């Protein structure tokens, strides 16, 4: 195991200049003092291209699988025009100013593959690359570390129509795209994310058909998982060859609890845990699939695993809530967070009763974050690199969003307990900076620290924005505790 890479805040890339103090013009909010995180801890916010950029037909951008999917009647539940996003393509300077007002140390955004290479392969679109050039420069000018994600679900439509992630060639083309982006931006980008949430793309896009590309293949969707992991490994090699460093990826994880101590419920929960957690973390961190899954994957699996398990500088965790899972049963959830759950699955999702819930209907369980991180450390030991929380957040309505403040406060306390228990956590990215198009939910779910009026695209900071700003200030001012003795 290589020695841990330094936290990005401690790096000295060309753009890492000190922040100016955040202005005091936002409405003040008292925030309960949080325990101090380690020096150099990276505080950031996140977004993605499809959810925010808009400008779907400008600058030579090609269509993505999500553009085609969202244009089908009924795919976006509230009928929102997903092609508008939040207007980030035109208003990125305004959003960077909001980040600077937070005092954010980093911004996790995504680069739209079809904006850079409209066909997914072939000619590069100079205007598309120029947009991200300008964005990176704007972030650097404000002392904010750019942390781009190369794939946040927007597969170029020609590749999707040729099979998408079911096709091995998509992984090869992704590596080519990664090399193009790194050649342009590696001199100013000190932190890279290859792919985001391959489990969700596999399950929601290819297995259940609720997200793009709308395929309903159930277990025949597994090749999509393998090819995304392969794309990640190939991209790591391409990035390093182009001079990029400090590379990770963003993997969604949830603690999985059995509905009861009965053997059937425990077996169902174990399968669900394997499919949603270990199917991705095991190959990435150990170079092996969970028992029984090698034979379900396409291609020269052993050779591919050597690529998939390329050394990571850090490991990104997206956490929202735990899952309660049991054997299939008549009282299992038929839908979960608006997603249809096929009755033929060998497990059933159950309701976690007695829990506060977000606007999305997700249970609020802050300690699940600590449980998850401590569990990853116990399972993988020294194979687990330093961790960044690459997404954590919640959907609530209103500008005076005290429920969001309580959610974030609870999760940051749980995160600190994980640090105290020995997990090497280097940073936290709240999801998300602004409200955005929440995929198939459209504009109905508001995760942002900043409210977006979808008629005018006007931005208005919420109470949680001021609270998070104050947290970042307090953490930077805190002095580390003296060691005992």
Among 249, 125, 112, which Cα is nearest to 193's? 249
Residue 439 is assigned to a ligand binding site: yes
Measured CA to CA, the distance from residue 354 to residue 272 in angstroms comes to 23
**CA 13 → CA 93, 190, 325, 385, distances in Å?**
21, 6, 45, 21
DSSP summary character for residue 428: E
Residue 132 is assigned to a ligand binding site: no
Measured CA to CA, the distance from residue 8 to residue 104 in angstroms comes to 13
Measured CA to CA, the distance from residue 171 to residue 224 in angstroms comes to 10
**CA 352 → CA 362, 403, 405, 429, distances in Å?**
9, 19, 22, 26
Residue 152 is assigned to a ligand binding site: yes
Residue 431 is assigned to a ligand binding site: yes
391 among known catalytic residues: yes
> What one-character-per-residue DSSP string does 332-376 give?
S-SEETTEE--TTSSSEEE--TT--B-TTS-B--THHHHHHHHHH
Roughly how many angstroms between the first and final C-alpha of the chain, as a whole number? 31
Q: Cβ distance 446 to 404 under 8 Å?
A: no
Residue 438 is assigned to a ligand binding site: yes
Measured CA to CA, the distance from residue 142 to residue 478 in angstroms comes to 22
Catalytic residue among 197, 210, 310, 371: 197
DSSP summary character for residue 296: G
Residue 192 is assigned to a ligand binding site: no
Residue 51 is assigned to a ligand binding site: yes
Among 478, 373, 362, which Cα is nearest to 428's? 373
Catalytic residue among 53, 138, 310, 391: 391
Measured CA to CA, the distance from residue 350 to residue 217 in angstroms comes to 23
197 among known catalytic residues: yes
Q: Cβ distance 94 to 135 under 8 Å?
A: no
Strands across the sheet with 256-258, in order? 256-258, 323-326, 348-350
The token duo for 308 is 């998939």
Question: Residues within the annotated binding site?
Answer: 51, 152, 196, 320, 431, 438-439
Q: Which residues are catalytic?
A: 197, 391
Question: Residues within the annotated binding site for substrate?
Answer: 51, 152, 196, 320, 431, 438-439
């Amino acid at each position: 195991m290589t020695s841990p890479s330094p936290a990005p805040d401690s790096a000295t890339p060309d753009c890492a200049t000190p922040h100016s103090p955040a202005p005091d013009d936002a409405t003040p909010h008292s925030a309960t003092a949080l325990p101090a995180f380690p020096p150099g801890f990276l505080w950031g916010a996140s977004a993605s291209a499809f959810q925010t950029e808009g400008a779907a037909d400008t600058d030579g951008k090609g269509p993505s699988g999500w553009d085609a999917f969202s244009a089908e009647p009924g795919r976006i539940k509230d009928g929102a025009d997903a092609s508008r996003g939040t207007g980030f393509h035109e208003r990125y300077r305004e959003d960077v100013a909001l980040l600077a007002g937070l005092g954010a140390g980093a911004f996790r955004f995504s680069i739209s593959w079809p904006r850079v290479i409209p066909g997914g392969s072939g000619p590069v679109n100079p205007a598309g690359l120029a947009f991200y050039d300008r964005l990176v420069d704007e972030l650097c000018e404000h002392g904010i570390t750019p942390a781009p994600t190369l794939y946040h679900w927007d597969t170029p439509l020609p590749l999707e129509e040729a099979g998408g992630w079911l096709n091995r060639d998509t992984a090869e083309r992704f590596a080519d795209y990664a090399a193009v982006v790194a050649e342009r931006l590696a001199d100013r980008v000190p932190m890279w994310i290859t792919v985001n949430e391959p489990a969700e793309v596999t399950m929601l896009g290819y297995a259940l058909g609720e997200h793009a590309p709308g395929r309903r293949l159930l277990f025949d969707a597994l090749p999509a998982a393998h090819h995304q992991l392969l794309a990640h490994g190939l991209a790591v090699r391409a990035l390093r060859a182009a001079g990029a460093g400090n590379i990770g990826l963003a993997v969604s994880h949830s603690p999985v609890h059995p509905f009861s101590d009965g053997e059937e419920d425990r077996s169902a929960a174990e399968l669900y845990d394997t499919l949603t957690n270990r199917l991705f973390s095991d190959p990435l961190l150990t170079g092996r699939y969970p028992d029984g899954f090698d034979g379900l994957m396409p291609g020269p699996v052993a050779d591919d695993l050597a690529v998939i398990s390329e050394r990571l500088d850090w490991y990104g965790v997206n956490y929202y809530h735990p899952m309660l899972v049991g054997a299939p049963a008549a009282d299992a959830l038929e839908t979960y967070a608006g997603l249809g759950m096929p009755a033929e699955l060998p497990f059933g999702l159950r309701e976690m009763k007695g829990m506060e819930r977000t606007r999305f209907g997700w249970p609020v369980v802050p300690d699940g974050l600590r449980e998850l991180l401590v569990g990853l450390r116990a399972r993988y030991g020294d194979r687990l690199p330093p961790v960044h929380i690459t997404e954590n957040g919640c959907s609530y309505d209103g500008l005076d969003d005290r429920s969001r403040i309580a959610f974030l406060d609870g999760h940051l306390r749980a995160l600190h307990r994980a640090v105290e228990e020995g997990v090497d956590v280097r940073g936290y990215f709240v999801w998300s900076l602004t409200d955005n198009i929440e995929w198939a939910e459209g504009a109905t779910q508001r995760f942002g620290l900043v409210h977006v009026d979808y008629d005018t695209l006007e931005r208005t900071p919420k109470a949680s924005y001021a609270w998070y700003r104050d947290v970042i200030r307090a953490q930077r001012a805190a002095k580390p505790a003296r060691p005992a003795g």
